[in-house]
Structure 1
Amino acid sequence: MKFKKILVMGILSFLLAPKAGAQTFSEACYTPGLTRFQLFAPDNAKQVTLRIYDDGQGGKPVKTVKMKRTAAETYSAELKGDLKGKFYTFDTGAGECAGVFAKAVGVNGQRAAIIDMSATDPEGWDTDRITTVVSPADLIVYEMHHRDFSVDSSSGLVNKGKFLALTEPKAIEHLKKLGVNAVHILPSFDYASVDETRLNEPQYNWGYDPVNYNVPEGSYSTDPYTPATRIKEFKQMVQALHKAGIRVILDVVYNHTFNIEGSNFERTYPGYFYRKTADGRWSDGSGCGNETASERPAMRKFMIESVLYWVKEYHIDGFRFDLMGVHDIETMNQIRAALNKEYPATIIYGEGWSAGPCAYPQDKLAMKANMSSMPGISAFGDELRDALRGPFNDDHKGAFLAAVPGNEESIKFGIAGAICHPQVDMTKVNYSKEAWAAEPVQMLSYVSCHDDMCLVDRLRTSIPGIGMDELIRLDLLAQTAVMTSQGMPFILSGEEMLRDKKGVHNSFNSPDSINRIDWTNLEKYPQVMDYYSKLISLRKNHPAFRLGTADKVRRHLEFLPVQDNLVAFRLKDNAGGDAWKNIIVVLNSAKEARTVAVPEGSYTVVCRDGVINESGLGIVSGSEVNVPAQSALIIHD
């Protein structure tokens, strides 16, 4: 019998019994005449029950079936008749749940749904996919939360806080004008902390509390009760961004679940999917009460199948792994290999750290220090971030932007893309005493993200009494360092509008009044959006800023001797085949203008004192240049 592309929420292919080999199964496979159910559960389960419901919540089951053990750790059932539109749960004795690989769910994700997945495809979906393989350095990543971006009345968007907001012309045109070519969406899978039955009440969360990893979040849809709606609207969002030439990167949180006892993992196979410490306690490397065991065959296979599913079904272009340092290196490499085989254009990056000690050897974890063992995977460069704005653990302490000397070497390390460079003295670099990136594209260059204070708030807390003019100068200076780095540049949504969060450090559950983007700032501070968009255009137009390999960076990137609170470098000898023979970038965080020695020559100025014009802002000649206070200078010959 040929199975249609009609899915219940549960197809999961993973190793059922590692000792038995490569056996795989699907939790539910539908045809109009018969639906087969299978579940990965322990051999000693007293009873595994399948329940069928008419609705996604409430009511009694219309059918209850005792599943039979048909193979090692495998329980099966077959139901005749057409179950399309029904809901189901599994119960191994630890409580009902939707299974571990739900693909469609009812409201709040408590029950799995049987739907026609092909009916969720927007018109033209078959031809929607970005397949061009590019260097990560060619991307400009824009991190956003669905509510933050569109919920404020000033956005002018109709579908506030929804997937569909990113299908609206105003949203698309803003992203295109800014120049970003990749949107990183914060967790958009079904998560626990927002009650989808109470969306008329104030609720907010970033979404780092997974329930159903492979179903879009219902609160971002226009109808969380109808399983197909969230799926179709997510696809419409992806399609609209793709038509604009913008990739979609999904934030994935495989390192922990919302809780243990109520999780689908624990309810289907107690004790298997999580790590424990030597004394038998749940390990907490995630800082959220639990950590998953990526090294175990079924969990590893789950992660591989999950990312492949998001690429196949939703045309996702990349993944950001939350607390990637909780996962083992082998699993991350197998994910990269699986994507390379079918979808080589897919980008992978993550946080190269954990939130605490893990119950697994650190030298086998996907930590930043181990990035050389994970080719094709990137990590955030917190050395550059904190050298610019100050340490993560002290909001009031400044760094380079606050004219605090001693951060220059760390910035140079970030400019080089966290690789070994002969002019970077690693003994003076914060956090890392050895270069951790084998290639510069393994480092994400950034100064702020959703986590921790946004850039504007950090400048205000670390530089008491800062005025708006000074704040804008330093904001632009920070992003110039990010965009001229050899890594993969990354910005937080709203930074182009001088966004703030009223000083809140960790706004994961703060209200919209804290997290929302104020779009009127585009009119209040037009020079910020203008600078950001021209800076992005400058990077795109000049391959010298995105050389891509360590050898090229070492050959063409030369740092110039400078004083404290200055970083200067030259991209020489037509780096990357650039039309500009030599490019010099100077970052001056001092409160006064500074003079910097440069190779003798005649140079065209393209960036000076907060203004960018690639056609030229004038000519400077000689062996030194003057750089205005708290600003960047970019010249070329």
Structure 2
Amino acid sequence: MGQLNMSGTGIGSFNDRIRDAINGGSPFGNPLQQGFSTGLFLEPNGFYQGNETETRLTLATYTDHIQIGLAGNLKNYVLKSHTGEAKKGSEVCTFDGSPVGYTSSPIEIINYASAHDNETLFDIISLKTPMSLSIDERCRINHLSSSMIALSQGIPFFHAGDEILRSKSLDRDSYNSGDWFNKLDFTYETNNWGVGLPPREKNEGSWPLMKPRLENPSFKPTKDQILAALNNFVDILKIRYSSPLFRLTTASDVEQRVHFHNTGPSLVPGVIVMSIQDARNDAHEMSQLDENFSCVVTVFNACPHEVSIEIPDLATNKLQLHPVQVNSSDALVRQSAYEATTGQFTVPRRTTAVFVEPRC
């Protein structure tokens, strides 16, 4: 209940809601439970989380939780939920009945996907995704998860090494594990995967899950993959700081400007479409914050395949791929496209694509 009492204090609290929705389950549940980014419904790992109808519903619920988090976890932000009902953030609930949204201001939320406690982001992904998944795809999921944090309203928090695929060889509590498991390699030669089974005290129960993964050489990224992850991370930070629309400071600004479009019962699973509006050149319904862009649209595609999705509300805009992504070293994100006539966005698999409307 401590989080709920923080509303109105101006003090930030860590958002475990968005963490668990992105990754799946919780740090205290079965480590194979999947979430939005790790393949729930879209690419099951063999661990039973319900039938297809049930996992689709869980994914839709997680999607609601993430969207509230992207909107600063505001208690009064109104979202069209997966049921089609308009709900305030405080009316969207976690699986144990707690409200997802509880802040009065975006500065009161610290969004994160991993921290010093529990597994690193790379390790979480390595546990929850199917064992047959390629390391290239795991790297894409790592970036997708980080980008959801980086482009959220509020305070983004990253665990040291998220940007370089840091591993603790699946250690879930490395406080007393020494440098052997906590190593950060800034030569980028290794991410510290597979240096041994993590210490018995906090990890022994999961050793049967860990051993076949840690000894499998296909799980270990190369230096090129580590550097590509770093480049992609720097790019997404550049995008966050390219527009004040990603860094709104008041609840009223978030409520007025941030909108989600792939919502309701007919939503495309595994896809979040978020627009953030600024004042148009010819209208004065809101103050102008961004001198370069009148609108930014972010599409998070967690699907293992390319998605084309029509958003009629965003048709006829003059959107184009963000300049940072036009020049990205990631060939897939450069293929992202927008078609103005129908408002169709095409985004490659496991990709975050950002579109902007430059001012004339």
Q: Identify the structure with bigger relative contact order (alpha carbons < 8 Å, sequence gap 6+).
A: 2
Taking the aligned partners of 1:520 and 1:373, their CA distance within structure 2 comes to 44
Deviation at 1:592, TM superposition (A): 1.2
Aligned pair partner of 1:402 in 27, 38, 53: 38
Distance 1:594 1:617 in 2: 12
TM-score for the superposition, normalised by structure 1: 0.40
Displaced runs of 4+ in structure 1, greater than 6 A?
616-619
Listed as ranges, the matches of 1:10-159 within 5 Å are: none
Relative to its length, the structure with more strand (as a share) is 1
Q: Could you tell me whether the CA contact under 8 Å between 2:17 and 2:66 is conserved in 1?
A: yes
- What secondary structure does 1:458 align onto? helix
Shift of 1:436: 1.0
Establish whether residue 384 from structure 1 lines up as the match of residue 18 from structure 2: yes
**1:576 alignment partner, one of 243, 267, 289:** 289
Deviations 1:455-511 (A, max 9, x none): 000001111313210111111111111011001011011111110000111111112
- Corresponding residue for residue 305 of structure 2: 592
**Whole-angstrom distance in 2 between the partners of 1:445 and 1:595:** 28
Which of residues 52, 66, 78 is equivalent to 1:422? 78
Residues 519-541 of structure 1 show CA distances to partners (whole Å, capped at 9, x for unaligned) of 24364321111111121122122
CA contact (8 A) 1:383 1:429 kept: no
> What amino acid does structure 2 have at the position aligned with 1:579?
N
Check whether the contact 2:336–2:347 (CA below 8 A) recurs between aligned residues. no
Tell me the residue number matched to 2:130: 464
Q: Report the equivalent of 1:50.
A: none
Contact 1:473 1:630 in 2 (8 A): yes
Aligned to 1:631: 351
Residues 73 and 100 in structure 2, CA contact (< 8 A), matched pair in contact too: no
Structure 1, unpaired ranges of 5+: 1-361
Q: Structure 1 stretch 434-443 or stretch 575-584: which is displaced more?
A: 575-584
- Secondary structure at the aligned position of 1:620 is classed as strand
Q: 1:618 to 1:402 in 2, by over 3 A?
A: closer
Give the secondary-structure state (helix, strand or coil) at the position aligned to 1:513: helix
- Aligned counterparts of 1:454 and 1:608: Cα–Cα separation in 2: 30
- The Cα shift of 1:578 comes to 4.7
> Which residue, out of 316, 319, 338, partners 1:620?
338
Q: Deviations over 1:206-238 (max 9, x none)?
A: xxxxxxxxxxxxxxxxxxxxxxxxxxxxxxxxx
Question: Which residue of 2 is the match for residue 556 of structure 1?
Answer: 257
Q: Match for 1:591: what amino acid?
A: P
Partner AA of 2:182 in structure 1 = N
Specify which of 126, 143, 160 is matched with residue 493 of structure 1: 160
User: Which residues of 2 match residues 447-462 of structure 1 at below 5 A?
Assistant: 447-462=113-128
- For residue 349 of structure 1, what is the aligned residue in structure 2? none
Contact 1:398/1:463, CA 8 A, preserved across alignment: yes
Alignment RMSD, CA only?
A: 2.4
2:246 and 2:318 map into 1 onto residues whose CA distance is 21
Does residue 368 of structure 1 match 2:73?
no
Q: Residues 532-566 of structure 1: CA distance to partner in whole angstroms, max 9, x if unpaired?
A: 11211221221000011100001110111241111
Q: What residue identity is the alignment partner of 2:78? A: P
Residues 69 and 101 in structure 2, CA contact (< 8 A), matched pair in contact too: no
Distance 2:277 2:353 in 1: 16
Structure 2 stretches lacking a partner, 5+ long: 41-58, 81-86, 190-222, 280-287
Rounded Cα–Cα distance in structure 1 between residues aligned with 2:327 and 2:299: 11
Please show how residues 425-574 of structure 1 align to structure 2 within 5 Å: 425=87, 426=89, 427-430=91-94, 432-433=98-99, 435-465=101-131, 466-521=133-188, 523-524=223-224, 525-561=226-262, 562-574=267-279
Q: Alpha-carbon deviations, 1:587-618, whole Å to 9, x = none? A: 111111111223113321124897579xx988
Pick the structure with greater CA Rg.
1
* TM-score, structure 2 normalization: 0.69
Percent identical pairs in the alignment equals 22
Asked whether the equivalents of residues 8 and 103 of structure 2 are also in contact (C-alpha less than 8 Å), the reply is no
| Whole-angstrom CA distance in 1 between matches of 2:289 and 2:152 | 14
Question: Measured at CA, do residues 612 and 540 of structure 1 come closer, stay the same or move farther in structure 2, by a change above 3 Å?
Answer: farther
